[in-house]
Chain A
Amino acid sequence: MSLLAPLYLLLGAAAIVPLLIHLLRRRIGARVDFPAARYLARAEQEHSRSLRLRNLLLMLLRVAIVLFVATAAARPVMRLAGSGHGPTALAIVLDNSLSTTVVVDGHPLLEQFRGAAREILAAANATDRLWLVTADGRVRGGGKATLREELDRVEALGGAGNLPLALAHAGAAVRAAGLDSRQIILLTDGQRSAWTQTTDVGDVQVVLWLPGGVPPINRAVASAEARPERWTPRGALVARLMSKDSTTYRITLGDRSLGRGTASPNEEVVLRAAPPERGWVAGTIELEPDELPGDNVRHFAVWIGAPPGISVSPGAGPFARSAIDVLKGSGRVAEGRDIAIVAGDELSSLPALILAPSDPVRVGAANRALERVGVPWRFGVARRGEASVAGPRAADASDSLASGAFVDVSATTRYELVAQSGADADTIARVGREPWIVAGPRYAIVASPLDPTATTLPIRAAFVPWLATVLTERLVGEPGGIVAANPGQTLPRPRWADAIEEETGARTALGDDLQAPARSGTYFFERGGRRVGALVVNPESSESVLDRLASRELAARVRARQLLTAADRVQLAGLSFRSAARRSIGEPILVAALALLALEALLVRSRRRGAAAA
């Protein structure tokens, strides 16, 4: 038994009143002459035992009445067997992460959780406040029937979700309900990778149920990506498999198989190809089905196109010319006019890699050319003196244009790059705080001539690969790229996309933020109705590691008023609504006090009646 308002117990001090009356009663009352006092003394002597017993009983009754009333005022609650339960704010946190789709004893673990949740909901009554919170943090409230329907509609997530967040949401919901009895039922597989942080749910009782048994051995595709992101048309798919034994795999591209094979345990699979498809294409790598089918498939996307035709103007310098020749030899580029590598003053069309003019007197002509083709940048004042070139800031580090290309690169002659209004470009490299290379739709501008007297970039080993990347990934085709995400993850909207294709083919306009779909797959970005990139949604690779926490370990990651662990579903059902099964016993105590009061009145009346009859 516990008390909700223990301060009211102080009322129990009033019990001293009947006690004092009992003790002091012989000192009160009038003094009257009574010659037959000797008979009175004899009566008291002969009947003292019964008189004392009755008075003691009356005193005890009165003390008990006061104490009962004080106890009732203190709002006592206790668990009463078979008494149902009182109003409860109860949230069921249902772990529907990918790992709960693992099949155990012929059924997905999620179905066991769903069954347990149904049993708990069946015990709810109309006075309860109920919520169902899934691993993605989504909170569904409503009555018993509503939540049953919601429960039936719950599907497994394509990824890990965020169980600590879901638990926190559940805690906030039950706390906000304003009911005294608050409980969270946590149904989770206790996957170690999902519970990496401690969650505080506040003044709430948490009942935890972890399924028993050892998780099965799992095979999964931990990663899969196209390298490079744009194949012209040659490229490679690199995938890492997670398996304790050899496993067969199959790679698809578009609607056809690209290859299949058998991989050794934890082998990295590399498949090189020059497929005939063109544009943005989705692909998968699949393993044989196992107990956790959700991670046996991993999606990837790639842009495939013919090698771009490159023209190099004389003003671009010999180093650009030589680099293009090397790329032509490897088949990465071809001779043509798809993309121009030009000095600024020679610019006539886009797409183009625009270099600063080697002669400062050509800057004016270069700026006029930029203005003519609509590039919102201008060459400014010349800067002289050696300065180190730095890659993009961390936020842009994923840009393949810059990764590792500017190590030990310096610039001795450069021009300030001045952005015009409406400039929408990525800064690929900087000198100090000033941009040195910027790239926008269908253009890239280098603030120095590709000449060793102006910059060390053309004589670095990374120059040719960087040039290939700029030409084949940035300037070829439409601007865009691949965004990798986990199911449900929220990302910033790519600037180069304005819509996304659903699996059904429907287009959805993008807002400021982009929330990845809950299901794994490849979703194409569009701009102006044309595909410009892909959102590749795959489960977190950690979700494939099914190691579970012990109950004790998981309990250490949840801070609550009380944390109970159910050994099985039967015990779980017994513990559900347990906090509310601690029903108020104030009313029964008040009834008992009234009964005692009635008994006291009967005793007093019988005493008076006896005295009157005498």
Chain B
Amino acid sequence: MDAATHVPAPRADLFDPASLAALGRIEIVARWIVDGFMSGLHRSPRKGFSVEFAEYRPYQPGDDLRYIDWKIAARSDRWVVRQYEEETNLRASIVLDVSKSMAWSGAALYALAGAEQSGAARLTKLAYAERLTAALALLLLRQRDAVGLVRFDAEIRSAIPPRARNGQWRRVVAALEEPGAGRASSAPVALEQAARLISRRGMIVLVSDLLMDIPDVERAVRGLRAAGHDVTVLHLMDPAERDLPSGGEAVFVDPESRLEIAASVADVRAAYRQTVDEVIGEWRTMFSSIGASYELIFTDTPFGVPLRRAFAARQALP
């Protein structure tokens, strides 16, 4: 195959999340995402290529040309890339919020607002988060990082210690399919649990809608940072949670706390939008002040975007 005439396959990481998720199970979708993501990189994400050679693998678009084995290419007319056994020095743990607030999409609100804005095909925050988590885990594992998973709502639902061995990703994906949807989010406990699972300094990725009190989260993250962990927060938000589509009078019920707010959307929309911006700003400021990365992710954003941001955070680590 001529590299110059190679036509790149469509990149799954840039697909509409809902459309992509409809095509297969989590692990399949996650693979597509990661493959697409990797093909979009201009050089291999691997580090420490001075270490011991491990194996060859077929060339994939995006691989650094320096690692192509030209001898094999000349001999067998196959393009392969040399891979080296890098010593894993990162232990990452993904902390996933599976509370009831995450199992929500803005479809109902858009339905109230009218047919012109339909959110019926949008993923719930949890569905989005699960696919993002699977893809992120796969991406890290492909870099020989050790990846663990902590799922939590009011309590810890699953806790998989970080491992880099084969089969770890399958365990992660299987854990994602376990039930959750509790009536509260106890992120501090989950974050502490994740820290306990990482025996040394590592990376903790919190995937949550952050519908919780800032001081509690701040305290926990500050503790993680004090322990030397790098913390990345992926703040998931349905677009309807920011826009509050127009829909006349309604009684808005918090599915976790059962808090009921009766409001005319037209009356409060501007104020609500302003409040949401303020809250986002408060989260951003808080995380920034304690050295944690913070990214706001909307559930209609292609998976490649948050993945890139999380990967960039990973790249910033030694």
Q: Does B285 contact A (CB under 8 A)?
A: no
- A26, A40, A608: which contacts B272 (Cβ < 8 A)? A40
Which residues from chain A contact B247 at a C-beta distance below 8 Å?
Answer: 32
B252, A32: Cβ atoms under 8 Å? Answer: yes
B274, A43: Cβ atoms under 8 Å? Answer: yes
Q: Does A44 contact B (CB under 8 A)?
A: yes
Given A26-B262, A34-B109, A36-B211, do A611 and B269 touch, yes or no (CB 8 Å)? Answer: yes
Q: Does B51 contact A (CB under 8 A)?
A: no
Q: Does B220 contact A (CB under 8 A)?
A: no
A37, B259: Cβ atoms under 8 Å? Answer: yes
Given A26-B262, A29-B249, A614-B273, do A37 and B254 touch, yes or no (CB 8 Å)? Answer: yes
A612 to B117, CA, bound (A): 12
Q: Does B253 contact A (CB under 8 A)?
A: yes
Which residues from chain B contact A256 at a C-beta distance below 8 Å?
Answer: none
Q: In A64-97, which residues have CB < 8 Å from any B CB?
A: none
Q: Does B241 contact A (CB under 8 A)?
A: yes
Mark contacts of A423-449 with chain B using CB atoms, 8 A cut-off: 1 yes-contact digit, 0 otherwise.
000000000000000000000000000
B contact set with A: CB distance below 8 Å = 100-102, 104, 108-109, 112, 209, 211, 241, 243-244, 246-257, 259-276, 279
A28, B249: Cβ atoms under 8 Å? Answer: yes
Which residues from chain B contact A26 at a C-beta distance below 8 Å?
Answer: 262
Q: In A22-54, which residues have CB < 8 Å from any B CB?
A: 25-44, 46-47, 50-51, 54
Which residues from chain A contact B276 at a C-beta distance below 8 Å?
Answer: 36, 39
Which residues from chain A contact B263 at a C-beta distance below 8 Å?
Answer: 40, 44
A556 to B108, CA, bound (A): 80
Q: In A589-613, which residues have CB < 8 Å from any B CB?
A: 604, 607-608, 610-613
Q: Which 9 A-B pairs have the closest CB atoms?
A: A29-B249, A35-B101, A611-B269, A47-B271, A614-B273, A37-B254, A34-B252, A43-B275, A614-B270
A609 to B258, CA, bound (A): 31
Say how far A263's CB is from chain B's closest CB, in angstroms. 100
Given A34-B254, A36-B241, A38-B254, do A29 and B269 touch, yes or no (CB 8 Å)? Answer: no
A contact set with B: CB distance below 8 Å = 25-44, 46-47, 50-51, 54-55, 604, 607-608, 610-614
A39, B279: Cβ atoms under 8 Å? Answer: yes
Which residues from chain A contact B246 at a C-beta distance below 8 Å?
Answer: 608, 611-612
Q: Which of A27, A35, A50, A608 has the most CB of B within 10 A?
A: A35
- A25, A32, A33, A614: which contacts B274 (Cβ < 8 A)? A614
List 12 additional A-B contacts (Cβ < 8 Å) besides A28-B249, A35-B102.
A32-B251, A32-B253, A35-B104, A35-B211, A37-B257, A39-B241, A39-B272, A43-B274, A51-B271, A608-B266, A611-B267, A611-B269
A29, B268: Cβ atoms under 8 Å? Answer: no
Say how far A386's CB is from chain B's closest CB, in angstroms. 113
Given A44-B271, A607-B266, do A31 and B250 touch, yes or no (CB 8 Å)? Answer: yes
Which residues from chain A contact B274 at a C-beta distance below 8 Å?
Answer: 43, 47, 614
Say how far B279's CB is from chain A's closest CB, in angstroms. 6
A35, B270: Cβ atoms under 8 Å? Answer: no
Given A38-B211, A39-B276, A42-B275, do A32 and B270 touch, yes or no (CB 8 Å)? Answer: no
A43 to B249, CA, bound (A): 16
Given A29-B251, A30-B250, A33-B108, do A55 and B267 touch, yes or no (CB 8 Å)? Answer: yes
Pull 6 A–B residue pairs with CB atoms less than 8 Å apart, ordered by A.
A28-B249, A29-B248, A30-B251, A36-B211, A37-B257, A43-B275
Say how far A480's CB is from chain B's closest CB, in angstroms. 102
Which residues from chain B contact A31 at a C-beta distance below 8 Å?
Answer: 250-251, 253, 260
- B104, B241, B250, B271: which contacts A29 (Cβ < 8 A)? B250
A28 to B264, CA, bound (A): 10
Say how far B253's CB is from chain A's closest CB, in angstroms. 6
Which residues from chain B contact A25 at a C-beta distance below 8 Å?
Answer: 249, 264
A84 to B260, CA, bound (A): 61
Which residues from chain A contact B262 at a C-beta distance below 8 Å?
Answer: 26-27, 29
- A42, A607, A612: which contacts B267 (Cβ < 8 A)? A607
- A40, A55, A610: which contacts B252 (Cβ < 8 A)? A40
- A30, A35, A43, A610: which contacts B241 (Cβ < 8 A)? A35
Say how far B109's CB is from chain A's closest CB, in angstroms. 6
A34 to B259, CA, bound (A): 9
A40, B250: Cβ atoms under 8 Å? Answer: no
Say how far B245's CB is from chain A's closest CB, in angstroms. 10
B266, A32: Cβ atoms under 8 Å? Answer: no
Which residues from chain B contact A51 at a C-beta distance below 8 Å?
Answer: 267-268, 271
Given A32-B253, A611-B265, do A43 and B104 touch, yes or no (CB 8 Å)? Answer: no
Say how far B210's CB is from chain A's closest CB, in angstroms. 10
Which residues from chain A contact B109 at a C-beta distance below 8 Å?
Answer: 32, 34
Say how far A62's CB is from chain B's closest CB, in angstroms. 15
A32, B112: Cβ atoms under 8 Å? Answer: yes
Which residues from chain B contact A38 at a C-beta distance below 8 Å?
Answer: 211, 254, 257, 259
Which residues from chain B contact A42 at a C-beta distance below 8 Å?
Answer: 275, 279
- B254, B260, B269: which contacts A35 (Cβ < 8 A)? B254
Say how far B64's CB is from chain A's closest CB, in angstroms. 43
Given A39-B275, A40-B268, A607-B266, do A33 and B211 touch, yes or no (CB 8 Å)? Answer: no
Which residues from chain B contact A613 at a C-beta distance below 8 Å?
Answer: 270
A37 to B263, CA, bound (A): 10
A352 to B253, CA, bound (A): 128
A31 to B253, CA, bound (A): 7
Which residues from chain A contact B241 at a C-beta distance below 8 Å?
Answer: 34-36, 39
Which residues from chain B contact A608 at a C-beta distance below 8 Å?
Answer: 246, 266
Say how far A529's CB is from chain B's closest CB, in angstroms. 102
A52 to B290, CA, bound (A): 39
B261, A40: Cβ atoms under 8 Å? Answer: yes
Which residues from chain A contact B211 at a C-beta distance below 8 Å?
Answer: 35-36, 38
Say how far A51's CB is from chain B's closest CB, in angstroms. 6
Say how far B317's CB is from chain A's closest CB, in angstroms. 32
Which residues from chain A contact B272 at a C-beta distance below 8 Å?
Answer: 39-40, 43, 614
A33 to B256, CA, bound (A): 10
A43, B271: Cβ atoms under 8 Å? Answer: yes
Say how far A217's CB is from chain B's closest CB, in angstroms. 86
Say how far B280's CB is from chain A's closest CB, in angstroms. 10
Say how far B114's CB is from chain A's closest CB, in angstroms. 12
Given A35-B209, A38-B211, A38-B259, do A43 and B268 touch, yes or no (CB 8 Å)? Answer: yes
Given A26-B262, A39-B279, do A32 and B250 touch, yes or no (CB 8 Å)? Answer: yes
Considering only CB atoms, which chain A residue lies closest to B252 in the complex?
A34
Which residues from chain B contact A35 at a C-beta distance below 8 Å?
Answer: 100-102, 104, 209, 211, 241, 254-256
Say how far B308's CB is from chain A's closest CB, in angstroms. 26
Which residues from chain B contact A612 at a C-beta distance below 8 Å?
Answer: 246
